[in-house]
Each structure stands twice: as C-alpha cells, then as structure tokens.
Amino acid sequence: MDARAINAQLRRGETPGENALRWFAEGLASGAVSDAQAGAFAMAVCLQGLSVEGRRALTLAMRDTGDVLEWDLDGPVLDKHSTGGVGDCVSLLLAPALAACGAYVPMISGRGLGHTGGTLDKLEAIPGVSIQVSEDRLRGMLQDVGCAIVGATAQIAPADKRLYAIRDVTATVESVDLITASILSKKLAASPDALVLDVKIGSGAFMKTADEARALAQSLCDTANAAGCKTSALITDMNQPLAPALGNALEVAEVMRVLTGDASGPLAEISAVLGGELLAHAGLAADTAAGAAKITATLTDGRAADRFARMIAALGGPADFTASWQDDLPGAEVTREVKAPSAGHVAAMNGEALGLAVVSLGGGRMVESDRIHPGVGISDIVRLGQHVGAGDTLARIHAASDDAADMAEAAFLAAVSIGEAPDTLPPLVHERIS
C-alpha cells in the first residue's frame, strides 16, 4: 500500500478500507509513514471526515499498534477522559477518589493540546514526578495505590503518540474522527471495564456548539461500546474555566485545596458526577447519585488525598505531598493583579483566548519542542455572573517577566466581558449520552 494513495482517497472524500487504515496506523508506529504524510492524513481527515465504520477501524488499528493490557485484579478497572478545556484538572481528583472507593484506575493521559492544559504537564509541575513508567511499574502502582496517572509507554498505541503530536502543530485538533481514534486507542489499550467521557462544550472547549459536542460524545460512546467497554458520556460546560486557575502548578494547587479542606465548587462537583457514573457502571454504587455521594465522601474525609499523596510518591514526587504542597509547587517570577476597568457583572468569557494566553506565558507549547514553565498562568479568576466594582481584582497573572505579564493582562481583559448580568448561567452538566 501507499500513503500517497490513501491520502488521495481521503482528499476526495472517500474513506479508505479497514486494511488500508490498519496499514497507515502501523506506518505511523514504525516510521514508514513520514511526518509530511502524517500531517496530510490528519488534514484530509479533518476536512473530509471518515465514515462511521472508518472511524471504528482507525481507532482499533491505532490501538493494536501496541500492547493491549490485561488485568488480574480483585476490583473493576475504571477510567475517565476529558476532551479538554481550561482549568480542567478533574483527573487528578477523580483517579484517587475512585481508588478509595475500591476501583483500580490505570489512567493513561496526555499532554497539553492546543489551548488546553495536559494532565501529564500538571503532574510534572510537582518536583520529582516522572510520568513515564514501565508496564511492570504500572501494575505495581495499581496493586499498591489503586490508581496511576501516567503517560503512554512506547508500547501503548504508538501510532497515536506520533499522530497526537502532529495534530497539535497542524491545526487538526478539532476533528471528531481523530479525537475519537486518539482518545480510545489509548483508553481501550488499558482494557477498562467501564469508561466515562467528559465532553466539553463552550468557549473554552474544542466543541463550541451542542451539535458538535453531541456528535463527539456519540462517536466516542458508539466506538467504545462496540469494542466491549461499558461507556457513557457527559456533556459539561466550558464557557468559563472549571477551576479558578489556569496553568500547571496553579491547577495542582486548586486540586490540593479540594483534597485538603474545601471539597466544594464546580471542580469537586463535576468530579463527583463523573465518578458516580463509573461507580454505577461497575456495580460499586446502586446508581449514579449514590456513586457521586461516595466520591464526595472520599474528597471530604481525606481518603482521596491519601491515595493522591501515595501516587505522587510512587511517581518520584515528595514523600508527603499533602503536607508540603504549598512549599513544593514552583512559582513564577512576576505576579500581577488584573483590575476591572468598570463596574458590572462578568457577562462572558472567551475560554480559548484565556488558554492561549497561558500558552503564550510559557504554560503550554506553541511547537512540540517547547519547554513548559510550570509556575506561570492565571489564578483567582472571577466567575460568570459575579458582580465586580471598578478596580476590583478579576484575576492574578503569574509570569516569567513583566513583558509577558503585560501581554497576559491585555489578553485577559480582551477575553472577559463586564456588563449586564447574564439572564441565565450555563449548567455544569448539559446532557448525558449513553
């Protein structure tokens, strides 16, 4: 087969057959497909799309380029994935909370993509943490801790690792077909018994409209359930940051505040809702409401914090991160308050613009080789509907220089509208897809 012929088919709006897609996936993994051919493939799929069957075939082909894990554990194996947003650090709460409820969570996560932060980048903001572990080490962590948030090894969906990086720098992130194949090739390689998908909608999400989010959620659910994994999806709001902070260390700090004293607010609430879905799927709760209550209990009584601290130590981080996190997390060289230019209510936020401002600060990557500054970002962000007076603090900028802080301050003020109070505030959960 020939990558040029496959790309030509895609350019014409035709879906290549299962064997052709499997060949291309294997070529991504082996290097037989060049970066230029991979970029052309991603762009053609983004513009022309695949058929439903083609999407399923590409997903399974990418999964099968590496190992498919098998487990022998005394509880269900559960997993969660978010399609990406700003201030979304739910995985860092949910994995240890599920483990405290009796589940095992081998969460193979990714890095920042486009304007969104990456779970692995957030973990690596913790000094000493290394997210690349061997399969034996992953199994050991599950036995000892119950959860492990790690990067995909070279043996897990290597085709996706290659294509994922190319999508980030070729403006092909938003494709439903490529998102489905990327997420599920890794998630299905971990062989979970149940999976919940957090599909974001709104200004800070890749999916801006209800139709786009619903299409992606249905695509993910259909593909995963067809592969034998019990899966549901929640369409959740991303018209404002989920946590009141953007940036790697700043988001870890928000996680620690929930784990060590304040299990309330949108971040804790959505973690409970997603966890409730999984516990109900796995038979660890009578229904989703009972499951959500169990998750909340682990966040308030310290059990989730204990699991998180043990996971961080197992990944090479501080021995007791729950006690030392305020001293351990890196900061930025410059901190500056953003003041409201006028009085009024926070009427709207451009979440994507806020995310890109953090990337420009050095909190994400413009190209694959960029190094991340873990301490930069934006914290103490106001909420939609909140009333502010002229001169009140809207947020705090954490930057590496005064010039970078100037840029971020201007970007923040351009992204946040102060005016009349919104007629209604968006719900945290818009819809459930099964």
Which of 4, 43, 52 lies closest to 24, judged by CA? 4
Active site residue 203: no
Which of 20, 48, 7, 50 lies closest to 181, judged by CA? 50
Active site residue 30: no
Active site residue 186: yes
With vertex at residue 317, the alpha carbon angle to CA 311 and CA 319, rounded to the nearest 5 degrees, is 80
SS3 string, 51-80, reads CHHHHHHHHHHHHCCCCCCCCCCCCCEEEE
List 167, 281, 310, 365, catalytic entry? 167
List 80, 161, 257, 310, catalytic entry? 80
C-alpha dihedral over 234, 237, 238, 240, to 10 degrees? -150
List 59, 65, 83, 119, catalytic entry? 119
Specify the 3-state DSSP secondary structure of 332: coil
**Number of C-beta neighbours around residue 371 at 10 A:** 7
List 182, 219, 260, 379, catalytic entry? 182
Active site residue 79: yes
Active site residue 11: no
Active site residue 230: no
Sorted by sequence, the CB contacts under 8 Å of residue 124 that are 6+ apart come out as 130, 131, 248, 372, 374
Beta carbons of 202 and 353 less than 8 angstroms apart = no
Active site residue 294: no
Tokens linked to 399 = 């930057």
Strand 429-433 with 387-388, pairing: unpaired
List 55, 115, 161, 187, catalytic entry? 187
Active site residue 119: yes
C-alpha 70/C-alpha 85 separation (Å) is 31
List 22, 63, 64, 79, catalytic entry? 79
Give the burial string for 246-262 (b: 16+ CB within 10 Å, else e): bbbbbbbbbbbbbbbee
C-alpha 143/C-alpha 139 separation (Å) is 6
Tokens linked to 370 = 């960029």
Query: Across-strand partners of 417?
Result: 348
Catalytic (active-site) positions: 79-82, 119, 167, 182, 186-187
